[in-house]
Chain A
Amino acid sequence: MTKAEKVFYIVCVILFGILLVSIFRLQVIQGEHYKQVAESNFVRIHRITATRGEIYDQKYRPIVQNIPSHNLYLMASAIQDLPALARFLELHFELSPEELNQAIFRNRFRSYEEILLVDNVAFEKMLSVSEYLNYYPELSFRVDSTRQYHYPNHFTGYVGRINEREYDQHRDEDYSINSYIGKTGLERYYEVLLRGKDGREIVQVDARGRSLGLFKEGGYEDPLHGLSLVLTIDNDLQDFAMRVFPDNVKGAIVVSDVRTGGILAYVSKPEYDPNLFMRRISPEIWEDLNNPNKPLLDRVIHATYPPGSVFKPITLGFGLHKDIVQRDTRLSPCIGGFQVGNRFFRCWEHKGHGRTNAVEALMQSCDVYFYDLSLQLPLDDFKAYALESHLATKTGIDLPNERNGFFPDTQWYFKTFGQNIGIQGHKVNLSIGQGEILTSPIQMNAYYSAIANDGIWIQPHLLKQTVGRAILTRDEVDKLEKIRLPLDNDDLKTIQDGLYAVCNGPKGTARSVQVPGATTFGKTGSAENSMGDLTHAWFCGYIVTDKPEIAVTVFMENAGGGSAMAAPIARQIFDYYMGNIEDIKRAAPVPAQFRHEEIPPQNESQDQIEPTESEDGIEEMPEQDVQVEQ
Chain B
Amino acid sequence: MINRRKIDFVLLALMVALIAVGCVAIYTASTTVISEHISTANYWWRQLIFAALAFAIMFVILKLPMPIFDILILPAFVLNLLLLILVLFTPAVNGAHRWFSIGGINIQPSESAKLLTILVVARYISKENLSDYRRMAYGFGIMIVPVLLILIEPDFGTTVVFWVALLAMLIASDIPLFFILLIISPIVSVIASLHWVGVLLWIAILIFLLIRARLSWVAITVSALINIFIAMIMPVFWMGLKGYQQDRIMTFLDPTRDPLGAGYQIIQSKIAIGSGALSGKGWLQGTQKNMNFLPEHHTDFIYSVIGEEFGFLGSLFLLSLFFAFFARFIRDIGKLKVRERKVASSGIMAYLMFQTFINIGMNIGLVPATGIPLPFISYGGSNLLINTVSVSVVLKYLNERGFIK
- Is A618 among interface residues, defined by CB-CB distance under 8 A? no
Enumerate A146-202 residues with CB–CB distance to B below 8 Å: 172, 200, 202
Known contacts A22-B364, A204-B259; is A104 also within 8 Å of B277 by CB? no
Residue in A16, A37, A101, A104 whose CB lies within 8 Å of B323: A16
Residue from A12, A38, A76 whose CB has the most chain B CB atoms within 10 Å? A38
- Is A79 among interface residues, defined by CB-CB distance under 8 A? yes
Once the chains bind, are A27 and B260 in contact (CB under 8 Å)? no
- Give complex CA distance A450, B260 in Å: 53
Enumerate B31-59 residues with CB–CB distance to A below 8 Å: 32, 34-37, 39, 41
Once the chains bind, are A5 and B32 in contact (CB under 8 Å)? no
Once the chains bind, are A2 and B274 in contact (CB under 8 Å)? no
Enumerate A98-148 residues with CB–CB distance to B below 8 Å: 101, 104-105, 108-112
A43 — which chain B residues lie within 8 A by C-beta? 264, 267-268, 271, 293
At the interface with chain A, which of B132-140, B311-319, B376-384? B311-319
Once the chains bind, are B259 and A12 in contact (CB under 8 Å)? no
A105 — which chain B residues lie within 8 A by C-beta? 39
Once the chains bind, are B260 and A23 in contact (CB under 8 Å)? no
- Is B122 among interface residues, defined by CB-CB distance under 8 A? no
- Give complex CA distance A16, B353 in Å: 10
1/0 contact string of A203-225 vs chain B (CB within 8 Å): 01000000000111111010000
| In the complex, residue of chain B having the shortest beta-carbon distance to the beta carbon of A27 | B312
- Is B257 among interface residues, defined by CB-CB distance under 8 A? yes
1/0 contact string of B333-374 vs chain A (CB within 8 Å): 110000000100010011001000100110010100000000
- Give complex CA distance A382, B327 in Å: 81
Enumerate A76-97 residues with CB–CB distance to B below 8 Å: 76-77, 79-82
- Is B278 among interface residues, defined by CB-CB distance under 8 A? yes
A34 — which chain B residues lie within 8 A by C-beta? 270-271, 273-275, 277
CB distance from A380 to the nearest CB of B (A): 37
Once the chains bind, are A9 and B258 in contact (CB under 8 Å)? no
How would you classify the secondary structure of chain B's contact residues: helix, strand, loop or mixed? helix
B316 — which chain A residues lie within 8 A by C-beta? 20, 23
- Give complex CA distance A19, B273 in Å: 13
Once the chains bind, are A22 and B366 in contact (CB under 8 Å)? yes
Once the chains bind, are A110 and B292 in contact (CB under 8 Å)? yes
- Give complex CA distance A173, B270 in Å: 28
- Is B290 among interface residues, defined by CB-CB distance under 8 A? yes
1/0 contact string of B183-227 vs chain A (CB within 8 Å): 000000000000000000000000000000000000000000000
1/0 contact string of B267-289 vs chain A (CB within 8 Å): 11011111111100000000110
- Give complex CA distance A7, B311 in Å: 31
A204 — which chain B residues lie within 8 A by C-beta? 259
A101 — which chain B residues lie within 8 A by C-beta? 37
B326 — which chain A residues lie within 8 A by C-beta? 12, 16
Residue in A80, A110, A219 whose CB lies within 8 Å of B259: A219
- Is A24 among interface residues, defined by CB-CB distance under 8 A? yes
- Give complex CA distance A553, B65 in Å: 79
Residue from A105, A108, A218 whose CB has the most chain B CB atoms within 10 Å? A108
Once the chains bind, are B276 and A5 in contact (CB under 8 Å)? no
Once the chains bind, are A32 and B277 in contact (CB under 8 Å)? yes
CB distance from B247 to the nearest CB of A (A): 10
Once the chains bind, are B260 and A221 in contact (CB under 8 Å)? yes
B264 — which chain A residues lie within 8 A by C-beta? 43, 45, 202
Known contacts A9-B327, A22-B364; is A82 also within 8 Å of B37 by CB? yes
A592 — which chain B residues lie within 8 A by C-beta? none
CB distance from B340 to the nearest CB of A (A): 14
- Is A69 among interface residues, defined by CB-CB distance under 8 A? no
Once the chains bind, are B174 and A23 in contact (CB under 8 Å)? no
- Is A249 among interface residues, defined by CB-CB distance under 8 A? no
Once the chains bind, are B323 and A12 in contact (CB under 8 Å)? yes
Once the chains bind, are A82 and B36 in contact (CB under 8 Å)? yes
Once the chains bind, are B274 and A27 in contact (CB under 8 Å)? yes
- Is A1 among interface residues, defined by CB-CB distance under 8 A? yes
Known contacts A172-B94, A216-B257; is A8 also within 8 Å of B330 by CB? yes
- Is A26 among interface residues, defined by CB-CB distance under 8 A? yes
B350 — which chain A residues lie within 8 A by C-beta? 8
- Is B168 among interface residues, defined by CB-CB distance under 8 A? yes
Once the chains bind, are A111 and B290 in contact (CB under 8 Å)? yes
- Is B254 among interface residues, defined by CB-CB distance under 8 A? yes
- Is B375 among interface residues, defined by CB-CB distance under 8 A? no
Known contacts A27-B315, A204-B259; is A35 also within 8 Å of B277 by CB? yes
- Is A41 among interface residues, defined by CB-CB distance under 8 A? yes
Residue from B277, B288, B312 whose CB has the most chain A CB atoms within 10 Å? B277
- Is B307 among interface residues, defined by CB-CB distance under 8 A? yes
- Give complex CA distance A218, B361 in Å: 24
A12 — which chain B residues lie within 8 A by C-beta? 323, 326-327, 330, 353
CB distance from A221 to the nearest CB of B (A): 6
Once the chains bind, are A104 and B34 in contact (CB under 8 Å)? yes
Once the chains bind, are A4 and B172 in contact (CB under 8 Å)? yes
- Is B171 among interface residues, defined by CB-CB distance under 8 A? yes
CB distance from B125 to the nearest CB of A (A): 13
CB distance from B30 to the nearest CB of A (A): 8
- Is A28 among interface residues, defined by CB-CB distance under 8 A? yes
Known contacts A8-B346, A23-B307; is A41 also within 8 Å of B291 by CB? yes
CB distance from A468 to the nearest CB of B (A): 25
19 sample A-B contacts, Cβ–Cβ < 8 Å, listed by A number: A8-B349, A12-B327, A19-B319, A19-B361, A19-B366, A23-B307, A26-B273, A31-B312, A32-B277, A37-B274, A41-B291, A82-B34, A82-B36, A109-B30, A110-B295, A111-B290, A112-B291, A204-B259, A218-B258
The chain B residues found within 8 Å of chain A, CB to CB, are: 30, 32, 34-37, 39, 41, 93-94, 168, 171-172, 174, 177, 254, 256-260, 263-264, 267-268, 270-278, 287-288, 290-293, 295, 307, 311-312, 315-316, 319, 322-323, 326-327, 330-331, 333-334, 342, 346, 349-350, 353, 357, 360-361, 364, 366
The chain A residues found within 8 Å of chain B, CB to CB, are: 1-5, 7-9, 11-12, 15-16, 18-20, 22-24, 26-28, 30-35, 37-39, 41, 43-45, 76-77, 79-82, 101, 104-105, 108-112, 172, 200, 202, 204, 214-219, 221
- Supplied contacts A214-B259, A215-B259, 9 more A-B pairs, CB within 8 Å: A3-B174, A4-B171, A16-B357, A34-B274, A37-B274, A82-B37, A104-B34, A109-B292, A204-B259
Pairs of residues from A and B, 5 with the lowest C-beta to C-beta distance, nearest first: A34-B274, A31-B277, A38-B275, A215-B259, A27-B312
